[in-house]
Amino acid sequence: MGARVIAIANQKGGVGKTTTALNLAAALARLNKRVLVMDLDPHANASVHLSFFPETLEATAYDLFQAEKADGALFERIRKTGLSGGFDFIPGHIRLSELEVDLKERKNKGLILSDALTLKREEYDYVLVDCPPHVGILLVNAIVASDLVLIPIQTDFLALYGIRLLFDTIRLLNRVLPKSVRYMALATMYDQRTAACRRILRLMRDKLGERVCETVIHFDTKFRESSAGGKVIFEVDPKARGAVEYLQLAKEIAAHENA
């Protein structure tokens, strides 16, 4: 069956999407899972975080989408291995934003990522996709290829409002896809001292029920510290609250997949 593909998506930026992609990947690697992270966000935050600067790279995720057909040799050229976080990585590029126009006439353009991953799916247990923060061809590709859409939701009202767009996209895709898209919401940047945060988490659990992860990611300054150093949180402080919580999330996701 091969890798489980998890698209990490939210229409609103700044909610912990890239932090979740990289630290969940590192946590899964610590559980001895083989993990690939793909940066499909034209802002390329995950790539820059890991010190892969798109303008210096020979090939990126952009080239995967430009290829006429799935190409294993191209995948090998793009893929970065031997990272200290314990996972493999496909860097992004600002030119990913051009794909709306580039692929306008392309047939089956929503299946490009699925096709590319069929070549490598047996090599991994998990593929995590850091999605762009807007609806378009990249987000559709990620959702279509995924077994699970994980939605990080910052525990404030604006972030809660922002997920409506994503749910609309999922609903639209569910009308045409052979199987419904599974999704889970993840509360991030939580501060239990503030009444607003507690209220948002209650609202999430009331509205989405079992679709909210049991794990809650609290605000932790170590995330900023690890980001500044181009590392994942486990490399900065494996006992930090954020590290413990992403490891807990990895175990929760693995348990769900095995259930």
For 108-161, the pLDDT digits (tens) are: 999 999 999 999 999 999 999 999 988 899 999 999 999 999 999 988 877 666
Q: pLDDT tens digit string along 16-46? A: 899 999 999 999 999 999 999 999 999 999 9
Using CB atoms within 10 Å of the CB of residue 218, give its burial: 0 to 12 exposed, 13 to 18 middle, 19+ buried.
Answer: middle
* 8 A C-beta contact, residue 160 and residue 196: no
Average pLDDT, the chain: 92
pLDDT at 163: 72
Q: Tell me the residue type at 55.
A: E
pLDDT at 99: 96
Class of domain 4-258: alpha beta
Type and span of the H or E element at 250: helix 241-258
Is residue 233 scored above 90 in pLDDT? yes
pLDDT at 27: 98
pLDDT at 1: 65
Q: pLDDT tens digit string along 69-93? A: 989 999 999 999 999 999 999 999 9
* Strand ranges for 27-179 from DSSP E: 35-39, 88-90, 126-130, 148-154
Closest by CA to 242, choosing from 216, 215, 220, is 220
Percent of the chain predicted with pLDDT > 70? 96
Q: Are strands 148-154 and 4-8 parallel, antiparallel or unpaired?
A: parallel
Q: What is the pTM of this model?
A: 0.94
